[in-house]
């Protein structure tokens, strides 16, 4: 099983950007942990990040052709991007929305996800473990 982990804007700054809120782990560290766990579970994990909405749309479309599932942290685009929503809706593989923090416990504008209802599920508020939980869901789903 191949899983694509897609990260949106500003997630390349993890470890430096508001570590009190987002933690001190870098994106490359998280990606390494996910690849290692995926390997242990017999899965291939590919990780991509972009700060550009159109590029993220292209990546999600490719994920629908090249993977069996997507773990998506769309960052701020979660709350604003109809284009990402449409890409998720049409990609043809399950997408799990993840967030490091709990958007429901943050500013009002972060409490609305344009993606949640077109995703298989949402995992939020568990720091980098949100990604791990999503990867484990795909593993258990594959096993039946």
Positions annotated as catalytic residues are 22, 99
Residues 62, 37: Cα–Cα separation, whole Å: 23
Residue 101 three-state SS: coil
DSSP 47: E
């Amino acid at each position: 099983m191949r899983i694509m982990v897609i990260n949106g804007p500003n997630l390349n700054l993890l470890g430096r950007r508001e570590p009190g809120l987002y933690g001190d782990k870098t994106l490359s560290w998280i990606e390494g942990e996910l690849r290692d766990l995926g390997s242990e579970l017999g899965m291939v994990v590919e990780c991509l990040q972009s700060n550009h909405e159109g590029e993220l749309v292209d990546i999600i479309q490719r994920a629908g052709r090249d993977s069996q599932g997507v773990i998506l942290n769309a960052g701020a685009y979660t709350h604003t991007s109809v284009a990402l929503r449409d890409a998720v809706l049409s990609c043809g593989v399950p997408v799990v929305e993840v967030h490091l923090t709990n958007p429901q416990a943050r500013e009002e504008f972060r409490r609305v996800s344009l993606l949640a209802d077109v995703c298989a599920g949402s995992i939020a508020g568990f720091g980098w473990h949100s990604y791990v939980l999503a990867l484990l869901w795909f593993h258990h789903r594959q096993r039946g």
